[in-house]
Structure 1
Amino acid sequence: MKSDSAFCIGDAQGATASCRAAVIPPNTSHRVVEGTASATLIHLAPEAAVATMLCPEPGDTVDVWVRHGAMFSSGPMGMAALVAGAVEPDRSAWHPAVRRSLADLPALLADGPVRLGDLAQRVGLSESRLAHLFSAEVGLPFRAYVRWLRMQHAMRLFAAGRTLTEAAHGAGFADSAHLNRVCHSMFGAAPTQYGQLRLVDELGCP
């Protein structure tokens, strides 16, 4: 979040910190304890180039994240520079099967449910081997990453003017209630609570 006045952010352990800007690393539990009327929320995709720099260590609290710059009021990188560095992942060293999986997933998701076993067969690996590589290199388990992609698509549809139900069905959720639950789990708020939404893809294009 970024705002003109400080807001209070907390973690799953109950620690809180006051800051003027926050970037949320992947797979990081958090909550806004006291917010502002207008703010910008930035969640980093797990494969973002800068994401591994910001991921907290096990047991870290929100105060540690603030001091290390994962959520910060000031730090070595400005918000714009941080986001610019976040949108271009370096996949050159990744296993070819993982790179192909990531390339194929958007089209597969548009066709319906995606099973790890089916994807493993497409890329020529066992299901367990692909699951291990995917988690290690992308930073999230396969199912969690698929849920992240579906949420991004739903939020794009909603931002483009679709109803919540239309966005939910278009992204592969069972209904708007299902979308609401996942959105609360990921972002701590319902989709309707975002007055303005701007999603940035891997190439930095909104």
Structure 2
Amino acid sequence: MNRSGGDQTVEPRWGGAALLRPGVLAFTGSIGITDAHAHHAVQIIAATTAFTVLDEHGARHRGTKVVVPADTAHRIEVGAEEGAMVFLDPESAPGRSAHVRAVRSGWTVTPVLAFTGRRALATVVDELIAHLAPATAGDDVAPRHPVIDDALRLLPDLVAAGPVSGTELAAQVGISASRLTHLFTEQVGIPLRRYVLWSRLQIAITRVQAGDDLTGAAHGAGFADSAHLTRTTREMFGLAPSMLSRHVSWDLDSGG
């Protein structure tokens, strides 16, 4: 996101805490104004004071909680000093739920994100997901199919090595590709191909935190180059790779 000031464009000051797990990116900090943009993730914003989001039709959505549907042009017109943002993959159960709510009921829907500025970000995210997809809240209690455990163990090395073939992964765990696809989405909560993409972002951030530049991080995460990583972060979240800064304290949860 870019913040405009006169003829200058100033990168926002990313700081504080951020969390990334398959299907979810969240962070806390000040919420600044942005240029008009669209991204694939569903965006949920909550703040301690009211802020304003302008949609592509010129309508203003003002409040302390706003949900922006997937692939929808918008810009933050008035920001807030303290808030939280959660980006959800629209192909995940909570992402679909948030998207449908916003489309059917409006962007300033009944509060779905509890933010006071004093709670752990992981707790806020867990409660949000349980609220949006209550049927999946207890899934981790049920035993997971052994082939899914096998797939999750194999995926980190496969992702880092380059393109991941669902057919080849299925063969390695001894199941048909169609069955693996079905089980993975059902038990992990996000399609395999989306899980792979989020995993690449996790690896990239881990490498940046360890000292790599964007080019090294991109190659280490299986992206073609730093431009590919840049396009991915912008398409998914509307964010520049500066979000990967080592000045942000990251919680990288595999969610597996």
Query: TM-score with structure 1 length normalisation?
Result: 0.69
* Bigger-Rg structure (1/2): 2
Quickly say closer, same or farther: Cα 1:58–1:15, change in 2 above 3 A: farther
| C-alpha contact 2:84 2:115 (8 A) present in aligned 1 | no
Query: Higher mean Cα deviation, 147-156 or 3-12?
Result: 3-12
Question: What is the alpha-carbon distance in structure 1 between the residues aligned to residue 107 and residue 66 of structure 2?
Answer: 10
Q: SS in structure 1 opposite 2:149? A: helix
Question: What is the alpha-carbon distance in structure 2 between the residues aligned to residue 32 and residue 161 of structure 1?
Answer: 32
Aligned residue among 228, 233, 240 for 1:178: 228
Higher RCO (Cα < 8 Å, 6 or more apart):
2
Query: TM-score with structure 2 length normalisation?
Result: 0.58
Question: What is the alpha-carbon distance in structure 1 between the residues aligned to residue 173 and residue 234 of structure 2?
Answer: 33
Tell whether 2:183 aligns with 1:139: no
Tell whether 2:72 aligns with 1:56: no
Tell whether 2:76 aligns with 1:33: yes
| Number of residue pairs the alignment of both structures matches | 197
Aligned residue among 154, 159, 162 for 1:112: 162
Aligned residue among 156, 179, 193 for 2:206: 156
- Gap runs ≥5 in structure 1: none
Q: SS in structure 2 opposite 1:98? A: helix
| C-alpha contact 2:139 2:187 (8 A) present in aligned 1 | no
Aligned residue among 106, 109, 133 for 1:67: 109
Query: Higher mean Cα deviation, 147-156 or 94-103?
Result: 94-103
Quickly say closer, same or farther: Cα 1:189–1:90, change in 2 above 3 A: same
C-alpha offsets along residues 141-166 of structure 1, whole Å, 9 cap, x if unaligned? 21111011101211222233321111
Cα offset for 1:60?
3.0
Question: What is the alpha-carbon distance in structure 2 between the residues aligned to residue 13 and residue 102 of structure 1?
Answer: 43
Percent sequence identity over aligned pairs: 36
| C-alpha contact 1:164 1:176 (8 A) present in aligned 2 | yes
2:251 corresponding residue in structure 1: 200
